Amino acid sequence: MLGRIVGKATTLSFSFELGDEADVKKFEYVKVPHRVYEWVLCQVLEIEKNQERSLAKCNVLGYVDKGKVKQVRIPFDIGSEVFLADDEFITEVIQLDTENGAYVGKLDGKQIPVNLDLSKLLTKHIAILAKSGAGKSYALGVLIEEILERKVPVLIIDPHGEYGSLGKKSEDDDERLARHGIKPKSYEVREYGTHEQPELIPLRLPNNLTQQELIHLIPGKLNNTQLGILYSALNGMEEVNFETVLLGLEQEESNAKWSVINLIEHIRGLGIFSNAPVAYNELVKSGVASVINMRGIAPDIQQVIVYKLAKDLFELRKMNKVPPFFLVIEEAHNYCPERSFGETTSSKILRTIASEGRKFGLGLAVVSQRPARVDKSVLSQCTTQMILKVTNPNDLRAVGNSVEGLTAESEAEIQNLSIGTALVTGVVDMPLFVNIRPRKTAHGGHAVDILDQPESFEEQTSSFQDQELLPIIKPKTTPQDLKLMAEGDAEVRTILIPSYLFSCKEKDNAYKLLVDMTNGEVVVDVEEGTTSKLPTLRKLSPVQMKILMAANSLKEFDKEEIIQKIKTTVEIDDDLKDLLEHEYLSHNTENDSYSITNNYILSKLSKHAVYTPVEYEQVRFDIQRDAKMNLDKVKEQLSRFTKVLDQQECQLVRYELE
């Protein structure tokens, strides 16, 4: 016995005085005998102490009647005894042991498994809210594992490239996993990206659009004249795609068409639309997690991708052309922000899915570290919430306003939650504090460990002689991969090449170029570390420039062909000789033909854009090259070909077999 009820008791709450030896803590579960309802489950909300006594304030949760949980209608008698609730009674009242339950962890301070009803999640949505570093990505990973166990398709919008790790087994302590009755496991993951990266499947969206989609995708707002021109071009068009729309616009007579053409070309130039798009039935596949890796992609392009994917898949789901699936929106405040923070391309469709998706078997998980910035109409549609530590006052208010049945005491406790503990609501009628279980898969959401502290000062100093925290760009091929490909025993050297990553712009196309500062050349292949030179235009004559432009289109040619191509009567032998000496051209003596070399970049610089992001890591290296080029001179040379917006110093990592 913990104590007896004193003071005032209602059907919702009461207080009891703790006995001298009573050991009870905040949010502990207790049970009280009732003269009508037998045993009733209650929860301690607060404990007060003064010099005379200790008082525990409790919330009345309910009792079980014929298998159903009901609320009491008659208050407890004053003086009723209060006991610590046993696990069996808590489980009976809270009813967490569901057949379709997703095991996410254990009740805080108890060995009682907490299972979320997946049938509810797929029809009533879930919000996972927490400050950065509080464990929301880890908790979401646990939930996704349980969904994949039941072969439900999952589509994850992944802004930071964290969820590809679902395809790898956890390296966590086996004993820790065993305490939860689970084992390391990997799941089938298909990871998509918009750029040609070896480990990602290229994400290509359908080029065919509706008129409404096209207008919705155009950045900014068209004026009436521009809208009139666009509608005129679209009138009677059987197939709407970028090529047909641009062709139709070019036939318009008004000069206002050029601004519309530029906007359409901007969307087409994003590189995400294709005549050979990814098959949607491959994106939504039973038991498979399809991850849309957005790392390094500009926010406006991310919003276009989310809009197009969500809209198309929602329409296909309504027609039952793809199976019921679970859509995860990480960093949701970027894709469906509260309206006071602005409207994005993807806002409207996500609001529609939040309100109507449940009717068609489309479950939604909204994940954010800024609850105050997420659209309130989207949050309000999430019946289940997993709330980890939140400290920002605005975010706390947003959580309090969006969560039903959240007591003032529970809301205040959100600020004090330990990492890995979540307040879960919507599973039952009462909020639950849950210790999230370990993941079966590897966790991909680790922050950069700035100082991996060795045990002793001597180890620390010797370690930092070998390791430095550096901004690096590294290839996808690892030293282990090279060793496996090598014949016999081989050692791999790590070489650091001083470089600069330049942010550039061509018309409306923003991109990044990597320049090797040992020679001032543009890196055209990060994997191999190969580079190409920029032509020194001021040293080329007008005739030589014409020859190079023609050579770039002809690829292979003889002297007569190039003369005919550039339409000149001037003798070009000396020009050809000069271009050969500077390695712009090569000469095949067998058939007396010329061809352009790969030593120079003679086409658009944006074709050699780098999409590998700079990462800050401690790197063990064998050789660190010295920079030999002047930054200002390199920048000046680049500016002759493109608009340079910014630059970032970094090291290009290269691996060499010894």
Say what the pLDDT of residue 405 is: 64
Report which listed range, 325-339, 386-400, 454-468, is most confident. Answer: 325-339
Tell whether the torsion through CA atoms of 151, 152, 155 and 158 is positive or negative.
Answer: negative
What mean pLDDT is reported for the chain?
84
Report which listed range, 333-347, 442-456, 544-558, is most confident. Answer: 333-347
pLDDT tier for residue 538 given thresholds of 50, 70 and 90: low
Mean pLDDT computed over 340-356: 89
Q: Which residue has the higher pLDDT, 159 or 452?
A: 159
Task: Please state, in angstroms and rounded to a whole number, the distance separating the CA atoms of residues 634 and 500.
Answer: 10
Mean pLDDT computed over 289-313: 89
Cα 375 to Cα 202, 338, 372: the distances in Å are 30, 4, 8
In the predicted structure, residue 453 carries a pLDDT above the cut 70: no
Mean pLDDT computed over 187-192: 92
C-alpha atoms less than 13 angstroms from C-alpha of 290 in its C-beta half-sphere: 22
For residue 418, what are its two tokens?
């330990």
pLDDT tier for residue 565 given thresholds of 50, 70 and 90: confident
Report which listed range, 313-327, 391-405, 495-509, is most confident. Answer: 313-327
Say what the pLDDT of residue 485 is: 67
Can you tell me whether residue 605 is helix, strand or coil?
helix
pLDDT digits (tens, 9 = 90+) for 212-269: 888 888 876 778 888 888 888 888 787 888 888 888 888 888 888 888 888 888 888 7
pLDDT tier for residue 99 given thresholds of 50, 70 and 90: low
Say what the pLDDT of residue 141 is: 92
Task: Please state, in angstroms and rounded to a whole number, the distance separating the CA atoms of residues 328 and 298.
Answer: 20
Quick one: DSSP state of residue 640? T
Mean pLDDT computed over 7-15: 93
Q: Which residues pair with 596 in a beta bridge?
A: 585
CB 14 within 8 Å of CB 58: yes
Cα 253 to Cα 159, 538, 649: the distances in Å are 42, 40, 48
Chain centre distance of CA 76: 51
Say what the pLDDT of residue 214 is: 84
Task: Please state, in angstroms and rounded to a whole number, the distance separating the CA atoms of residues 523 and 516.
Answer: 6
Task: Please state, in angstroms and rounded to a whole number, the distance separating the CA atoms of residues 112 and 26.
Answer: 18
CB 127 within 8 Å of CB 386: yes
At which residue do the structure tokens 């400290």 appear?
Answer: 391
pLDDT tier for residue 140 given thresholds of 50, 70 and 90: very high
Cα 617 to Cα 2, 307, 468, 625: the distances in Å are 54, 34, 8, 18
Say what the pLDDT of residue 336 is: 93
At which residue do the structure tokens 């509080």 appear?
Answer: 134
Can you tell me whether residue 38 is helix, strand or coil?
strand
pLDDT digits (tens, 9 = 90+) for 104-113: 888 888 888 8
pLDDT tier for residue 52 given thresholds of 50, 70 and 90: confident
Quick one: DSSP state of residue 200? S
Percentage of residues in the chain with pLDDT exceeding 90? 27
Task: Please state, in angstroms and rounded to a whole number, the distance separating the CA atoms of residues 423 and 587.
Answer: 73
Say what the pLDDT of residue 488 is: 62
Mean pLDDT computed over 443-453: 51
In the predicted structure, residue 481 carries a pLDDT above the cut 90: no
Give the pairing type, strands 101-107 and 81-84.
Answer: unpaired
Q: What counts of helices (H) and strands (E) characterise the chain? A: 20, 32
For residue 457, what are its two tokens?
């000062």
Give kind and range of the element (H or E) at residue 500: strand 492-506
Confidence (pTM): 0.66
Task: Please state, in angstroms and rounded to a whole number, the distance separating the CA atoms of residues 398 and 379.
Answer: 9
User: Nearest to residue 156, comparing CAs of 296, 378, 363, 327?
Assistant: 327
How many residues are there in the chain? 658
Task: Please state, in angstroms and rounded to a whole number, the distance separating the CA atoms of residues 189 and 439.
Answer: 16
Percentage of residues in the chain with pLDDT exceeding 70? 92
332 Rama class: left (phi>0) / alpha (psi -120 to 50) / beta: alpha
Report which listed range, 91-100, 188-197, 223-232, is most confident. Answer: 223-232
Mean pLDDT computed over 272-301: 87
For residue 245, what are its two tokens?
């729309």
Task: Please state, in angstroms and rounded to a whole number, the distance separating the CA atoms of residues 185 and 175.
Answer: 15
In the predicted structure, residue 647 carries a pLDDT above the cut 80: yes
CB 559 within 8 Å of CB 571: no
Report which listed range, 106-115, 207-216, 368-377, 601-610, is most confident. Answer: 368-377
Say what the pLDDT of residue 456 is: 40
